[in-house]
Amino acid sequence: MTHKIDHFAFLDRSREDPDVYPLKVRKTEFREIYKPYDPDEAASQAERCLDCGNPYCEWKCPVHNYIPNWLKLAGEGRIMEAADLCHETNSLPEVCGRICPQDRLCEQACTLATGFGAVTIGAIERYIVDEALKQGWRPDLSHVQTKPWSVGIVGAGPAGLACADILTRNGISVTVYDRYPEIGGLLSFGIPDFKLELQVMRRRREVLEDAGVHFRLNCDIGRDIQASELENMHDALFFGLGTYKPVEASLPGMDEGGIVPALQYLIGQTAHLYGLDLPGYEHIDLAGEHVLVLGGGDTAMDCVRTAIRQGAATVHCVYRRDRENMPGSQREVGHAMKEGVRFEFNAQPQRLIHEKNRLSGVEIVKTRLVSSEQGRAVPEIIEGSEEVIPATAVIFAFGYRPSPPAWLEALGVNTAENGLVATDERLPGQTSNPAIFSAGDMVRGSDLVVTAIADAREAAQSIILHLESVQPQLKRA
């Protein structure tokens, strides 16, 4: 396809996000709510880019995507070249195009964001990669020279997959171990299909396997393979285990029941949707229930929107600050509102109320934001503002903390007091055991998918430097 470039397109062409499926349809379905661009729509929106001399969008992106460059290629219909360029900086561009908070990153930094409407960077990224894969795109590995090294990666989430991508592109044999039956980690099981369909990760697995990555799934380190065995099987290891331990809350009445764990709820729903056997993650159906979700991040938005699709009678989200201070994506908040979620901003829970041994409501109190020495305004309770919201199920979605496995210590990997893996300054991502590397949430704490990808790609380069420096000592050199 050829397309005449209009360098002043932003003057007469407004920002147009991809169409969404009708509200009545998407409220009942677990599939992505956005329709894909067609080629003309993608080209037209890509042309709005000013191609700034100093692209702020690129610098605000944690992986520093070559955004203006692949937008230009998309505008010209050169999709395969655009996909090549997307993958030069990002190992999972089709994922980031779907779930990155572009409204807080690249699109917020777009020169056109004030006055004209930012370029639809995320939607075009999704279009480029989806279309290229549909046309049979695969990375060109014809120039890669095979190296005599083996690296084991534990965790098939975004960090593990990004590390595997870089190592494979450098000719290193990679085996990825994961306890789940599908790759992706929380990309596959913690993020509902209305944001990221499982098929997206299954397609990425095909790409990685075609490139030479080996996967050992349904494999739990410490049970199916001992950590010491793993260390002897490979020349270096990378850990990308994420954070799975929920931030604890304590409210009067919690011990009387009615609590739904956020992560178990989301994972159980995906397992049920695809008929997967995941012990410990039973399906929790909240149809007909009065659901109240506590928290203001993306996990909270995933929970409220899942409850809507299950047919909950009412769904409330209680957050102690205002909408502008919510840590999650404003785009996701907007979708939740349209789908019927009721938000209680500037409110925090006080206690759970039970009647006849069953949860019936949550008492909340209103708050006001006051300035603090830490910079971010803190909520202050307004005395006498208590009220009760009906609730038969409460979901705590306050985020996650690290839960390092016991076998890390046996491998000589040090962790900080908060449980995060400590990395040295010798090489980015290198732990106290020089042959073991780590990145992502288990090092940084709960953060964005794109930052996990960025950190893991850098750690992969560190692994290469390490292997080159100790080559004479390696088992397989």
Span 22-50, average pLDDT = 95
pLDDT (0 to 100) of residue 375: 75
Per the CB < 8 A criterion, the answer to whether 315 and 289 are in contact is no
pLDDT band at 349, cuts 50/70/90? very high
Which of 400, 417, 437 terminates a domain? The answer is 400
The CB density around residue 425, as the number of other CB atoms within 10 Å, is: 6
Query: Looking at the domain assignment, is residue 141 inside a domain?
Result: no
Q: How many CA atoms lie within 13 A of 445 on its CB side?
A: 7
Smallest CA-to-CA distance from 266 within 250, 238, 244 is with 244
Give domain status of residue 362, yes or no. yes
Residues in the chain: 477
List, in sequence order, every residue forming a beta bridge with 364; answer none if it has no partner: 349, 387
Q: Residue 477 — very low, low, confident or very high, per pLDDT cuts 50/70/90?
A: very low
pLDDT digits 0-9 by tens, 53-78 = 889 999 999 999 999 999 999 999 99
For 156, what's the count of Cα atoms within 13 Å in the CB-facing half-sphere? 29
Rg of the Cα atoms in the chain: 23
Q: Edge-to-edge strand order for the sheet containing 290-294?
A: 259-261, 393-396, 290-294, 314-318, 342-344
Instruction: List the beta bridge partners of residue 236.
Output: 151
Residue 469 has pLDDT above 80, yes or no: yes
Q: What is the pLDDT of residue 1?
A: 46
Q: Is the pTM of this model over 0.75?
A: yes
Q: Residue 4 pLDDT more than 60?
A: no
Same-domain status, 299 and 395: yes
**106 Cβ contact partners less than 8 Å away, ≥ 6 residues apart:** 57, 58, 60, 61, 65, 67, 100, 121, 122
β-bridge partners, 354: 359
Q: What CATH code is carried by the domain that includes residue 282? A: 3.50.50.60
Residue 17 is encoded by which pair of tokens? Answer: 């996000």
Do 81 and 32 have their domain in common?
Answer: yes
Say which range, 170-184, 315-329, 448-462, has the weakest mean pLDDT. 315-329
Check pLDDT > 80 for residue 202: yes
Q: Which of 134, 162, 182 is at the close of a domain?
A: 134
% of the chain at pLDDT higher than 70? 97
Using the predicted structure, report yes or no on whether residue 470 has a pLDDT greater than 90: no
Residue 431: inside a domain, yes or no? yes
Residue 219: inside a domain: yes
Domain that holds residue 123: 9-134
Confidence (pLDDT) at 471:
73
Domain holding 45: CATH number? Answer: 1.10.1060.10
- Identify whether residues 300 and 166 lie together within a single domain: no
State the Cα–Cα distance between residues 109 and 113, nearest whole angstrom.
7
pLDDT of residue 376: 81
Q: What is the pLDDT of residues 125-141, one digit of tens each?
A: 999 999 999 999 999 99
pLDDT at 288 over 90: yes
Residues 6+ apart with CB under 8 A from 241: 154, 155, 157, 404, 405, 440, 442
Report the relative pairing of strands 393-396 and 259-261 from DSSP bridges. Answer: parallel
Tokens 């056109």 appear where?
Answer: 112
Asked whether residue 407 falls in the same domain as residue 446, the answer is yes
Q: Which of 5-19, 103-117, 459-473 is predicted most confidently?
A: 103-117
CA 475, 147, 441, 180: dihedral to nearest 10 degrees?
-80
- Residue 46 and residue 36 in one domain: yes
> 């349809």: which residue's tokens?
25
CA distance 326 to 345: 9
Whole-angstrom Cα distance, residue 315 to residue 339? 10
**Secondary structure of residue 370 in the 3-state scheme:** strand
Does 3 map to a domain?
Answer: no
- Asked if residue 230 and residue 325 are part of one domain, the reply reads no
Closest CA to 65 of 33, 40, 97: 97
Query: 227 lies in a domain?
Result: yes
Both 254 and 336 in a single domain? yes
Domain closes at, from 67, 99, 134: 134
Residues 342/301, Cβ–Cβ less than 8 Å:
no
- Exposed (0-12), middle (13-18) or buried (19+): which is 40, by Cβ within 10 Å? exposed
Mean of the pLDDT values across residues 401-420?
92
Claim to verify: residue 128 and residue 69 sit in the same structural domain: yes
8 A C-beta contact, residue 96 and residue 122: yes
Cross-strand bridge partners of residue 20: 34
- The average pLDDT across 154-175 equals 98
Q: What are phi and psi of 291, to 5 degrees?
A: -100, 135
Rounded-to-integer distance, Cα 321 and Cα 397, Å: 15
DSSP, residue by residue, 405-428: -THHHHTT--B-TTSPBP--SSST
d(CA 74, CA 77) in angstroms, rounded, equals 5
**Integer Cα distance of 400 and 402 in angstroms:** 7
CA dihedral over 369, 370, 372, 375, signed as positive or negative: positive
| pLDDT tens readout for residues 365-400 | 999 999 887 778 889 999 999 999 999 999 999 988
Domain shared by 215 and 254, yes or no: no
What does DSSP say about strands 378-381 and 358-370: parallel, antiparallel, or unpaired? antiparallel
Asked whether the predicted pLDDT for residue 3 surpasses 70, the reply is: no
Phi, psi dihedral angles at 213 (to 5 degrees) = -75, 135
CA distances from 278 to 42, 96, 153, 271, 343 (A): 39, 26, 22, 7, 32
- How high does pLDDT run on average in the chain? 94
Number of domains within the chain: 3
Average pLDDT over every residue of 445-454: 96
| One domain for residues 362 and 308 | yes
Residues 6+ apart with CB under 8 A from 396: 246, 247, 249, 259, 261, 262, 294, 295
Query: How would residue 296 be classed by pLDDT, with cut points 50, 70 and 90?
Result: very high
- Indicate whether 17 belongs to any domain: yes
Confidence of residue 6 (pLDDT cuts 50, 70, 90): low
Both structure tokens of 305: 């929107």
The residues facing 366 across adjacent strands are 347
Virtual torsion, Cα 284, 290, 293, 294, nearest 10 deg: -130
Alpha-carbon distance 477 to 72, whole Å?
44
Specify the residue for token string 């990666």. 153
